[in-house]
């Protein structure tokens, strides 16, 4: 293990430079459609197995299996193990937030919280006095299940643009939870089948419901169990939750007046046949758009996103005081255009493998 | 009630699939909302608002002033629609006027109306901005859709009327009869529903009268009871059933469901200079090859359906024509309680005095026994789609709204049958949302020298629940590719498809579209390559 030291985000000022020395693209390159830190011989969130990989968080469009060495936060490493992304052949280095690490080739790596899911991090690379932050996925809205986003001043900020259109202005999740609870009061005999991604969304929704005073047990699809237990091992408390698979298939009435959580694909699939009076529901940032909610056959859409919305994307790029913003995927054109209008040079990279809806 | 309640209502209706739930939600709103808000909500949802609160162009120009045009364009392309884009992305005014409360629905409508009547365009603009500044995205969506009369929340006029009928504890026919005689905000209607007043009197208003419908004949049970003394037979024409109504120089043409379609048939409406309500089949009379005009097929009629303003050329080529079945009232006297034979006499006299280019009498067919009826039915089948079959009516039947038992029978010609191959499947809605229950099927045909399947139609009924489960399973095991919600499957399963008729359609790859297609049998046994080819369809329905 290399010598590590604590750093603070505001270690030194980063003035905006028009000409950067060295050229950041020389040491943080796009290779095979993914980021590659040249002097450290290391990829960031690679989609294909590589020798050396820095992983920002555990969602499948960022963390994959088969890498030789992995650097990630302790939570992310645990998530990857739970999902079998890390095998015995993988050497995993856990770095807590702000723990500085010599990545080799003169590159220092440290992680800053991204506010996306448990353990999610921005990967901060420092080389020859320059700092590049690969934000991974991030959000600025409050989330009781993970650390809040931290602004790290930098020369180059690498951001996603999943919700980069002015139509995406995420409401506070508390208001959406109220909407769900109101429906349950109006239709007390219905079963709410709520589609949530297993990692992050599921736990955030449960926790927010608990904080809003919902105290009945949750029923849960098997695919959500292990990650929820992992969150609990990090001190999260979701109250009582039960596995649907523990009950008789024919006992359809048991779930009336309750929330059943499952992966989004199950909401309207065969699995949902075992519930009486089901109301298909989903928690996702896309629920903002009516046609998309309808297309997913959702009758109750909670606008709930783990990504920054339009205003937060622009605010964040501004706050990092980055001299240059690179945009990996999503509504690249819109963000590129808006940042240029603000006087922030921006460049769309259209990286491969970033599935639009994964993790959302 | 605040506009917020109206907006919540629209959201609930929009996202709810089942019609029964929609009815429950709407009835609940109408019960707890006072006049005149509930009447305006009814008008907005029932599609009877007669004016725009503001113009679409105003909304567009407001956005152009407030938002970067490129970002607006990207947003609109992404969302796919302007009102929702504006609702979501509305940039607040720098110093918005904050309202202590959102106005009520009726206040919003009255305010816009007053400013419009005062030709106060700046006032309309200011009021719209003030509302948008104070609303949440769903509320803005409701306002924009209401204001430009673009509400599409998947609630049919029929469901709206059913909701009212259930609240009033009457048959839906009663509401249909009233509906066109009343106008927003429907205070008299609600006073009656609440039990606080008598049923509104609409006898002096030109309006739709609910029509009498028939039952399919049960060949086993019903045929034996038929005699020429008790029953009259007529052709069942393949046009659209309409009601032509005139009063005090006004004319209306209503569809079977009570929609006013006068605007599509101004040529027929212009002939109405009488006070009566006539029930009949609307068709067109194009000229044949030798220049004579004769009754055209449904295909010919189709070009005139749904046209807001048909061109003079179209009306010349395909003039409207009514084949009269029945007379419901004349000069203020209702004949609903008279027998069919008595009404027939009046109808004959009425039609005799009309221009035969536009009106003719539905022929009473000669028959003496059931074999004659069978022969007539065969004749209808050979009419190249002009006649759908026979109508057999009790001669003493009074004219009742709805489908009274054993009064009128329809005896349709046998449906056409074809063996088609399942190509794509889609999930259903509501109870069927976990099942692949919508099926697109095709026939073999040739395109650019290559033998391939060409889709000819879609069906989602005709099978039992058990068969649905089997089909669902088969589809899940034979997935090929996915296009959004559409699942392509292996081209291996054959359906025997029944349909009433087919017409040419440039929108379909095969060149044909089927009417009323349904799955009549699942041919688990039949190999796909033995399914029918496009020429078989051509042979059945004529090219």
Check CB contact under 8 Å for B78 and A331: yes
CA-angle at A39, arms to A36 and A44, nearest 5°: 25
| pLDDT at residue B59, as a whole number | 96
Chain B hits for A300, CB-CB cut-off 8 Å, are 15
Return d(Cα A273, Cα A252) in angstroms, integer: 9
A23-39 pLDDT tens trace: 999 999 999 888 999 99
Could you give the C-alpha distances from A356 to A102, A161, A322, B410, in angstroms and in order? 33, 10, 25, 54
User: Of A283, A303, A323, which marks where a domain is finished?
Assistant: A303
Question: Closest by alpha carbon to A282, among A271, A270, A293?
Answer: A293
| pLDDT at residue A18, as a whole number | 54
Cis before residue B447, ω within 30 degrees of 0?
no
Cβ atoms of A219 and A240 within 8 Å: the answer is: no
Domain-by-domain residue ranges, chain B? 3-147, 215-412, 416-541
CATH, residue A127: 3.60.15.10
Helix (H, G, I), strand (E, B) or coil at B359: strand
> Among the residues of A96-171, which ranges form H helices?
none
Check CB contact under 8 Å for A334 and B71: yes
| Residue B480 clears pLDDT 70, i.e. is over it | yes
Tell me, yes or no, if B66 comes closer than 8 A to chain A by beta carbon: no
| pLDDT at residue A187, as a whole number | 84
Same domain, A283 and A236: yes
Could you give the C-alpha distances from B215 to B82, B335, B407, B410, B516, in angstroms and in order? 45, 22, 8, 6, 17
| pLDDT at residue A335, as a whole number | 96
Contacts 24+ apart (CB under 8 A), B265-273: B265/B304, B265/B310, B265/B320, B266/B310, B266/B315, B267/B315, B267/B319, B267/B320, B267/B358, B268/B244, B268/B320, B268/B321, B268/B322, B268/B358, B269/B244, B271/B354, B271/B355, B271/B358, B271/B359, B272/B244, B272/B245, B272/B246, B273/B246, B273/B249
Q: Is residue A10 part of a domain?
A: no
Question: Closest by alpha carbon to A278, among A309, A253, A310?
Answer: A253
How many folded domains does chain A comprise?
A: 2
Which residue's entry shows tokens 């700046």? Answer: B122
Same domain, A121 and A206: no
Rounded to the nearest angstrom, the minimum Cα separation between A26 and chain B is 32
Check CB contact under 8 Å for A297 and B70: no
Q: Grade residue A12 by pLDDT with cuts at 50, 70 and 90.
A: very low
Q: Is residue A30 part of a domain?
A: yes
| Residue A234 clears pLDDT 70, i.e. is over it | yes
Return d(Cα A323, Cα A315) in angstroms, integer: 14
Q: Grade residue A327 by pLDDT with cuts at 50, 70 and 90.
A: very high
Which of A341-355, B174-188, B460-474 is predicted with the least confidence, judged by mean pLDDT?
A341-355
CATH, residue A218: 3.40.50.10890
Check CB contact under 8 Å for B79 and A300: no
Tell me, yes or no, if A274 comes closer than 8 A to chain B by beta carbon: no
Q: Grade residue B501 by pLDDT with cuts at 50, 70 and 90.
A: confident
Check CB contact under 8 Å for A165 and B78: yes
Return d(Cα A276, Cα A254) in angstroms, integer: 8
B510: left (phi over 0), alpha (psi -120 to 50) or beta: alpha
B180-238 pLDDT tens trace: 889 999 999 999 999 999 999 887 788 888 889 999 999 999 998 999 999 999 999 99
Chain B hits for A297, CB-CB cut-off 8 Å, are 17, 427, 429, 433
CA-angle at A155, arms to A149 and A159, nearest 5°: 45
**Chain A residues 188-227 with a CB less than 8 Å from chain B:** none
Q: Give chain B's length.
A: 543
Tell me, yes or no, if B99 comes closer than 8 A to chain A by beta carbon: no
Query: What would the mean pLDDT of A241-270 be, rounded to a whole number?
Result: 94
Return d(Cα B499, Cα B492) in angstroms, integer: 21
Cis before residue B177, ω within 30 degrees of 0?
no
A39-98 pLDDT tens trace: 999 999 999 999 999 999 999 999 999 999 999 999 999 999 999 999 888 999 999 999
Query: What would the mean pLDDT of B53-65 be, rounded to a whole number?
Result: 94
Check CB contact under 8 Å for B434 and A272: yes
Question: Closest by alpha carbon to A360, among A312, A301, A318?
Answer: A301
Nearest beta carbon to residue B15 from set A171, A269, A299: A299
For residue A104, the enclosing domain spans 24-167+307-348
Question: Closest by alpha carbon to A231, among A259, A245, A255, A210?
Answer: A210
| pLDDT at residue A14, as a whole number | 43
Number of cross-chain residue pairs from A and B with Cβ atoms under 8 Å apart: 75
Q: Name the more confident of B433 and B192.
A: B192
Which of A132-141, B338-347, B513-522 is predicted with the least confidence, judged by mean pLDDT?
B513-522
Which residue's entry shows tokens 């099926």? Answer: B439
Check CB contact under 8 Å for A294 and B429: no
| pLDDT at residue B541, as a whole number | 65
Q: Is residue A357 part of a domain?
A: no
| CB within 8 Å of A255: residues ≥ 6 apart | A191, A219, A244, A275, A276
Phi, then psi, of B518 in degrees rounded to 5: -150, 160
Chain B hits for A166, CB-CB cut-off 8 Å, are 67, 71-72, 75, 88-89, 91
Q: Grade residue B507 by pLDDT with cuts at 50, 70 and 90.
A: confident
| Residue B120 clears pLDDT 50, i.e. is over it | yes
Same domain, A195 and A248: yes
| pLDDT at residue A354, as a whole number | 54
| Residue B172 clears pLDDT 80, i.e. is over it | yes
Check CB contact under 8 Å for B17 and A297: yes
Check CB contact under 8 Å for A295 and B484: yes
CA-angle at B381, arms to B379 and B387, nearest 5°: 90
Q: Give chain A's length.
A: 360
Check CB contact under 8 Å for B433 and A268: yes
Return d(Cα B326, Cα B336) in angstroms, integer: 10
Dihedral sign from CA coordinates of B428, A183, A284, A80: negative
Same domain, A245 and A272: yes
Dmax over CA atoms of chain A, in Å, equals: 68
Return d(Cα A107, Cα B229) in angstroms, integer: 103
Could you give the C-alpha distances from B430 to B18, B58, B462, in angstroms and in order? 6, 38, 18
Q: Grade residue B542 by pLDDT with cuts at 50, 70 and 90.
A: low
- Within 13 A of A253's CA, how many CA atoms are on the CB side? 0
Check CB contact under 8 Å for A270 and B434: yes
Same domain, A241 and A263: yes
Could you give the C-alpha distances from A302 to A181, A205, A221, A298, B318, in angstroms and in order? 11, 10, 19, 10, 52
Q: What is the DSSP track for B131-169?
A: HHHTS-HHHHHHHHHHHTT----S--HHHHHHHHHHHHT
Average pLDDT, chain B: 91
Rounded to the nearest angstrom, the minimum Cα separation between A230 and chain B is 31
**What are the beta bridge partners of residue B496?**
B419, B521
Tell me, yes or no, if B430 comes closer than 8 A to chain A by beta carbon: no
Q: Is residue A15 part of a domain?
A: no
Nearest beta carbon to residue B71 from set A166, A169, A270: A166
Return d(Cα B81, Cα B65) in angstroms, integer: 19
* Test the A interface: residue of B4, B5, B15 with most A CBs within 10 Å: B15
Query: What would the mean pLDDT of A113-127 be, rounded to a whole number?
Result: 98
Average pLDDT, chain A: 90
| CB within 8 Å of A316: residues ≥ 6 apart | A135, A138, A140, A149, A151, A157, A159, A308
CATH number of this structure's domain B3-147: 1.10.3260.10
Which of B20-24, B493-497, B508-512 is predicted with the least confidence, judged by mean pLDDT?
B508-512
Q: Is residue A9 part of a domain?
A: no
Nearest beta carbon to residue B79 from set A167, A268, A333: A167
Same domain, A257 and A287: yes
Same domain, A299 and A315: no
ipTM of the prediction: 0.87
| pLDDT at residue A281, as a whole number | 95
Pick the CATH number of B416-541 from 2.40.50.140, 2.40.30.10, 1.10.3720.10, 3.40.640.10: 2.40.50.140
Tell me, yes or no, if A277 comes closer than 8 A to chain B by beta carbon: no
Same domain, A342 and A262: no
Same domain, A30 and A162: yes
Nearest CA in chain B to A183: B12
Rounded to the nearest angstrom, the minimum Cα separation between A312 and chain B is 14
| CB within 8 Å of B301: residues ≥ 6 apart | B239, B240, B282, B283, B284, B318
Q: Grade residue B16 by pLDDT with cuts at 50, 70 and 90.
A: confident
Q: Grade residue A2 by pLDDT with cuts at 50, 70 and 90.
A: very low
Tell me, yes or no, if B7 comes closer than 8 A to chain A by beta carbon: no
Same domain, A282 and A184: yes
Return d(Cα A83, Cα A93) in angstroms, integer: 17
| pLDDT at residue A126, as a whole number | 97
Q: What's the distance, Cα to Cα, between the start and end of chain A in Å? A: 35
A125-168 pLDDT tens trace: 999 999 999 999 999 999 999 999 999 999 999 999 999 999 99
* DSSP single-letter state for residue A288: G
Domain B215-412, second-level architecture: 2-Layer Sandwich (3.30)
């Amino acid at each position: 293990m290399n010598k590590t030291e604590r750093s603070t985000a505001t270690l030194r000022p980063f003035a905006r430079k028009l000409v950067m020395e060295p050229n950041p693209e020389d040491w943080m390159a796009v290779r095979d459609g993914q980021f590659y830190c040249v002097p450290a011989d290391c990829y960031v969130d690679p989609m294909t197995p590589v020798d050396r990989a820095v992983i920002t968080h555990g969602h499948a469009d960022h963390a994959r299996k088969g890498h030789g060495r992995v650097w990630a936060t302790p939570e992310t490493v645990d998530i990857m193990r739970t999902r079998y992304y890390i095998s015995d052949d993988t050497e995993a280095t856990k770095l807590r937030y702000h723990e500085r690490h010599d990545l080799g080739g003169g590159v220092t790596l440290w992680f800053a919280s991204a506010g996306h899911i448990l353990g999610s991090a921005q990967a901060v690379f420092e080389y020859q006095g320059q700092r590049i932050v690969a934000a991974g996925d991030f959000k600025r809205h409050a989330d009781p299940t993970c650390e809040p986003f931290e602004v790290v001043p930098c020369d180059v900020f690498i951001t996603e643009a999943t919700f980069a259109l002015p139509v995406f202005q995420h409401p506070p999740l508390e208001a959406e939870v109220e909407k769900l609870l109101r429906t349950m009061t109006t239709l007390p005999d219905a079963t709410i089948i709520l589609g949530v991604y297993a990692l992050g969304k599921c736990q955030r929704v449960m926790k927010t419901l608990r904080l809003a005073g919902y105290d009945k047990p949750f029923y849960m699809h098997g695919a959500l169990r292990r990650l929820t237990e992992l969150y609990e091992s990090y001190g999260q408390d979701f109250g009582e939750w039960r596995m649907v698979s523990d009950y008789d298939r024919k006992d359809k009435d048991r779930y009336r007046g309750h929330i059943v959580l499952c992966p989004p694909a199950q909401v309207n699939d065969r699995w949902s046949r075992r519930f009486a009076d089901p109301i298909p529901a989903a928690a996702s940032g896309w629920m903002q758009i009516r046609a998309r909610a309808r297309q997913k056959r959702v009758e109750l859409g909670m606008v709930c996103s783990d990504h920054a919305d339009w205003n937060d994307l622009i605010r964040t790029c501004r706050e990092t005081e980055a001299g240059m913003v690179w945009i990996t995927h999503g509504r690249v054109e819109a963000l590129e255009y808006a940042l240029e209008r603000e006087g922030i040079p921006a460049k769309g990279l259209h990286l491969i493998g970033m599935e639009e809806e994964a993790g959302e | 009630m605040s506009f917020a309640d109206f907006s919540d209502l629209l959201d609930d209706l929009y996202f709810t699939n089942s019609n029964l739930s929609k009815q429950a939600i709407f009835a609940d709103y109408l019960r707890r909302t006072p006049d005149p808000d509930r009447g305006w909500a009814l008008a907005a949802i029932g599609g009877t608002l007669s004016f725009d609160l503001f113009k679409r162009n105003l909304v567009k120009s407001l956005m152009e002033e407030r938002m970067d045009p490129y970002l607006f364009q990207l947003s609109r392309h992404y969302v796919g629609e302007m009102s929702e884009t504006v609702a979501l992305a509305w940039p607040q005014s720098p110093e918005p006027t904050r309202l202590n409360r959102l106005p009520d629905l009726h206040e919003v409508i009255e305010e816009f109306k007053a400013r419009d009547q005062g030709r106060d365009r700046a006032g309309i603009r200011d009021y719209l901005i003030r509302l948008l500044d104070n609303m949440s995205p769903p509320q803005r969506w409701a306002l924009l859709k209401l204001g430009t009369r673009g509400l599409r929340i998947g609630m049919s006029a029929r469901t709206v009327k059913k909701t009212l009928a259930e609240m009033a504890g009457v048959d839906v026919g009663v509401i249909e009869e009233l509906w066109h005689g009343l106008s927003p905000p429907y205070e008299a209607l609600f006073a009656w529903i609440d039990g606080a007043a008598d049923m509104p009197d609409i006898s002096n208003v030109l309006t739709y009268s609910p029509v009498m419908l028939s039952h399919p004949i049960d060949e086993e049970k019903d045929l034996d009871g038929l005699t020429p003394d008790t029953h009259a037979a007529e052709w069942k024409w393949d046009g659209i059933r309409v009601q032509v109504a005139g009063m005090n120089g006004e004319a209306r043409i209503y569809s079977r469901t009570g929609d006013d379609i006068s605007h599509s048939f101004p040529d027929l409406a212009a002939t109405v200079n009488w006070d009566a309500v006539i029930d009949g089949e609307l068709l067109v009379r194009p000229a044949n090859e030798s220049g004579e005009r004769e009754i055209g097929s449904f295909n010919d009629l189709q070009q005139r359906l749904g046209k807001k303003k048909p061109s003079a050329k179209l009306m010349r080529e395909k003039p409207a024509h009514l084949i009269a079945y029945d007379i419901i009232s004349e000069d203020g006297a209702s004949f609903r309680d008279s027998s069919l034979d008595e009404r027939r006499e009046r109808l004959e006299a009425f039609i005799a005095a009309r221009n035969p280019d536009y009106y003719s009498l539905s022929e009473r067919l000669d028959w003496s026994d059931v074999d004659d009826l069978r022969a007539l039915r065969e004749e209808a089948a050979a009419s190249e789609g002009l006649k759908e079959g026979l109508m057999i009516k009790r001669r003493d039947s009074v004219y009742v709204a709805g489908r009274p038992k054993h009064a009128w029978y329809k005896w349709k010609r046998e449906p056409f049958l074809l063996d088609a191959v399942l190509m794509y499947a889609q999930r259903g809605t509501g109870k069927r949302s976990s099942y692949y229950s919508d099926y697109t099927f095709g026939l073999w045909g040739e395109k650019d020298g290559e033998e391939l399947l060409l889709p000819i139609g879609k069906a989602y009924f005709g099978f039992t629940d058990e068969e649905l489960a089997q089909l669902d399973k088969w589809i899940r095991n034979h997935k090929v590719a996915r296009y959004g919600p559409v699942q392509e499957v292996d081209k291996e399963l054959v359906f025997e498809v029944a349909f009433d008729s087919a017409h040419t359609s440039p929108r379909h790859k095969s060149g044909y579209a089927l009417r009323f297609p349904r799955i009549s049998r699942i041919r688990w046994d039949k190999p796909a390559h033995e399914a029918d080819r496009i020429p078989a369809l051509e042979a059945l329905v004529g090219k």
